[in-house]
Amino acid sequence: MEVARADLVGQYVGHTAQRTKDVFTGALGGVLFIDEAYTLTPEGSSNDFGREAVDTLLKLMEDHRDEIVVVVAGYTEEMARFLASNPGLTSRFSKFVTFEDYSTDELVTILSQHAAASGYECADATVRELRAHVDAIPRDRSFGNARLARQLLESMMTSQARRLGGLSSPSLADLTTLLPQDLPPARRQEAAL
């Protein structure tokens, strides 16, 4: 079962503990995956219901340690802060996995696979331009990884639709092929404008 803060945290005192128990109970016998777990312990907030969710989870994890696998995920720095927010967290999580960002080739493959699943294909020239485009994107804290590939494809599909809007009778190849001009302007060009 995959959950996020909104699935665990309630709106009033006592609501969070019950919501968290309900979610946890629903995952017994399987895996509870908490995405962006660090949002349960927001920096600078001491009176947040997220801390109640963490306290409740800790107790439930101890009581049911042989009945469930709990996975918490999020950005590396934020997760380190999350784990340090409560002494019981680090002792409950014995395995840590850090995933590297996808390479340019991997992101191009992900985008191409998503395009194919949506009935599109990238022309060879598009793939070359796509590699250059992805290479130019800074790999900083805002880098979206696989989300970047999805957003880039969505942008390309929108651009292609606009481009084809001017054609009176586009062919099937026109409708299904993404061209280099469907790529958004490179970030470095946008910054120069």
Residue pLDDT, tens place only, 21-30: 999 999 999 9
What pLDDT band is residue 192 in, cutting at 50, 70 and 90? very low
Q: Are 25 and 63 in contact (CB under 8 A)?
A: no
pTM value is: 0.70
Q: Write out the residue limits of the CATH 3.40.50.300 domain(s) in the chain.
A: 2-92
What pLDDT band is residue 140 in, cutting at 50, 70 and 90? confident
Architecture of domain 104-192: Orthogonal Bundle (1.10)
Q: Write out the residue limits of the CATH 1.10.8.60 domain(s) in the chain.
A: 104-192
Dihedral in degrees, nearest 10, Cα atoms 57, 59, 65, 68: -30
Q: What is the pLDDT of residues 148-190, one digit of tens each?
A: 999 999 999 999 999 999 889 999 999 999 999 999 987 434 4
121-122 vs 31-34, strand pairing mode: unpaired
CA atoms of 18 and 10, how far apart (whole Å): 8
> Which CATH number, 3.40.50.300, 3.30.1490.270, 3.40.470.10, 3.40.50.720, labels domain 2-92?
3.40.50.300
88 CB-contact burial (10 Å; exposed 0-12 / middle 13-18 / buried 19+)? middle
Mean pLDDT (whole number) for 22-49? 89
